[in-house]
Structure 1
């Protein structure tokens, strides 16, 4: 059966997860790959990561600008509105049989709305998860209700998607694509990581990503300053930062990180985007992965490396025993990092089981997409749980 499948991507992180599926679709007989590239990919301030897509040899069929300068709440709302209009225009030109969307960002909900209006079936990856400290929580579950096929990363999340009224036969627990990347990508050895990060041989380091928690009462800059204060307690470690995303407050976080790196160049490294391969390679040799990125919860446990998860942004996610949660104040962060660096906790992390780890994730997604009856997909009755009262 021939079909055209379009992949929506707006950030470096979500592209890094979707890339193996995109490559597999491109190599599948009867399948035509299309892409809609938008959001932070197209902004120089967030690394212009569309270049990575091009370097990987994948097509960029539609480039849709929606981001405005500033990253304020108002500009994000405007970007959603622009996205609905411009994504609809792009989807009508592409005319895919299905649109694949991953995650929960504001660009993604705009794409789901546009696809719904254009009557294009949506396949949603990473539904059912909880991120209680971010507005993305509402976006994710809304995308679920506008989607017609679901690929979740754990069985608990599969059950939650069904709880939202989705038909069980349309919801598949396939595991996390990011964990599969660890097994399938050719990761760099330590010497290459040190060369690329400008580290001396054997230098101990922390890998840190700090995104705005969009529902937090404190500003992102306040939380980041507390983290930076806590890092002063570990002078033997270089701190390798990656950039924040394009949420409200992200630009301020990146400015503060850039300034801090310039003033303490011996101990700090800052890159807007390391790319998937270098990021996972750097995580593999880090003493601890610190911050509030989902990667610390989902991928890093499969590397046997401790994670310190800060604040409320990832609150609600299923997590491994290798993850320490901490509040955002400096003493709490300092204590959590110290615990993660201990021999006892490092041994615990090395032995921990990752609940997101399943084999054949990409293959299962591709096979399901290719076998999917997209002609009837738009008609989906609400599924009532067996315990739900009948009307």
Structure 2
């Protein structure tokens, strides 16, 4: 290439930064790319751990910060945050003038970023489109991002077909696999016992990594959190690491319930706003079970060889590895699913590390495509009619 390609990568949470980390590093080190890292969302929120510090410690230059001023987690508060995001991204993109904007997933801050890019007539590349999470508002956001995006990097062939079904040109839809697998396959190991020690967790019982987020299309966060914590009480020897709750509607209710549980179980349970990329990967590998309703249990845990207990409808519709156990958000079924995850049979299944999301290397594939795809004329999208070969 005769000039650097300016690529704006938007990151808004600790989880999605972990998925993007490898790609960000590749772009940062490539002289053919001018990385423009745009940081927003919970990264800039003290209540969510101010995880922008992790980005700074990793040595990646931040081109712009878009503060959503996250406060109330009800519909009005989130709508206000999205409005601030739209204005902030608009100003950032006007200053940075990227050639291409990269967004991942289905969060409301990604919708604000894509809207601003669309209005600025900037090409958009979307990672993890075509998936389903039927218990979430995120489902609609993800599909809206698909229709705004010009290039699509999906994690599996069924998702590629779904994006094409939505009218996207097949030549612009790429099955690259899930970039989160790179985190588990390439990230440096941190001794799990050292991590647990810093969290004040003792003992030698089974280790649970628990992440539970609101199901945003339902209003039962407090009841679901109680069902989860009551089920965990059935395993009194277990050591439990809870990770922080998303900035979604009713997130504070769930967090309060988890804080109360930790207070009742000193020495064996801890709630961490953000473990950070390396510590999270290490605890995930060491865990006897991943429990909750995070996409990490569906996508990353299987490649780590860790059984997953997936609770409720939040991830309904995603492809499943055989090591994922689904259950509803009731204490008896959660308890039984955890017991099954700890069984020898499920441990043997998980040890096979089977996954429908590829075999790693997605970040490199996305990097190469971002630098090679032609951008001229991409803004003029046409609706692709099914019937032609894809």
* TM tier relative to shorter chain: over 0.9
Counterpart position of 2:37:
35
Number of corresponding residues? 387
Counterpart position of 1:65:
67
Q: Using the alignment, how far apart are the partners of 2:193 and 2:233 within structure 1?
A: 26
Q: C-alpha deviations, 1:92-137, integer Å up to 9, x for none?
A: 1110000000000111111111100001100000000000000000
SS of 2:376's partner is helix
The reply to whether residue 77 of structure 1 matches residue 79 of structure 2 is yes
Counterpart position of 1:290:
291
Q: Using the alignment, how far apart are the partners of 1:220 and 1:56 within structure 2?
A: 35
Quick check: 312-321 or 353-362, which moved more? 353-362
Counterpart position of 2:247:
246
Q: Using the alignment, how far apart are the partners of 2:343 and 2:371 within structure 1?
A: 48
Q: Using the alignment, how far apart are the partners of 1:59 and 1:29 within structure 2?
A: 15
Counterpart position of 2:350:
349
- How far apart are residue 59 of structure 1 and its match? 1.2
Structure 1, unmatched stretches of 5+, are none
Asked whether the equivalents of residues 40 and 67 of structure 1 are also in contact (C-alpha less than 8 Å), the reply is no
Q: C-alpha deviations, 1:36-87, integer Å up to 9, x for none?
A: 1111111100110011110100111111111331111111111122211221
Asked whether the equivalents of residues 191 and 201 of structure 1 are also in contact (C-alpha less than 8 Å), the reply is no
The reply to whether residue 178 of structure 1 matches residue 171 of structure 2 is no
- How far apart are residue 352 of structure 1 and its match? 4.6
SS of 1:376's partner is coil
Q: Using the alignment, how far apart are the partners of 1:252 and 1:3 within structure 2?
A: 44
1:167-246 to 2 correspondence within 5 Å?
167-200=169-202, 202-216=204-218, 218-246=219-247
Q: Using the alignment, how far apart are the partners of 2:326 and 2:169 within structure 1?
A: 34
Q: CA RMSD in A?
A: 1.5
- How far apart are residue 201 of structure 1 and its match? 6.2
Q: Using the alignment, how far apart are the partners of 1:345 and 1:282 within structure 2?
A: 19
SS of 2:253's partner is helix
Q: Using the alignment, how far apart are the partners of 1:310 and 1:200 within structure 2?
A: 26
Structure 2, unmatched stretches of 5+, are none
Counterpart position of 1:165:
167
SS of 1:236's partner is coil
Quick check: 96-105 or 20-29, which moved more? 20-29
Asked whether the equivalents of residues 67 and 75 of structure 1 are also in contact (C-alpha less than 8 Å), the reply is no
Q: C-alpha deviations, 1:177-205, integer Å up to 9, x for none?
A: 11111111112234334334433364422
Asked whether the equivalents of residues 202 and 239 of structure 2 are also in contact (C-alpha less than 8 Å), the reply is no
SS of 2:62's partner is coil
Asked whether the equivalents of residues 201 and 267 of structure 2 are also in contact (C-alpha less than 8 Å), the reply is no
Asked whether the equivalents of residues 323 and 349 of structure 2 are also in contact (C-alpha less than 8 Å), the reply is yes
Counterpart position of 2:377:
376
SS of 2:36's partner is strand
SS of 1:133's partner is coil
SS of 1:375's partner is coil
Q: Using the alignment, how far apart are the partners of 1:387 and 1:357 within structure 2?
A: 26
SS of 2:180's partner is helix
Q: Using the alignment, how far apart are the partners of 1:207 and 1:316 within structure 2?
A: 23
Normalising to structure 2: TM-score of the pair? 0.96
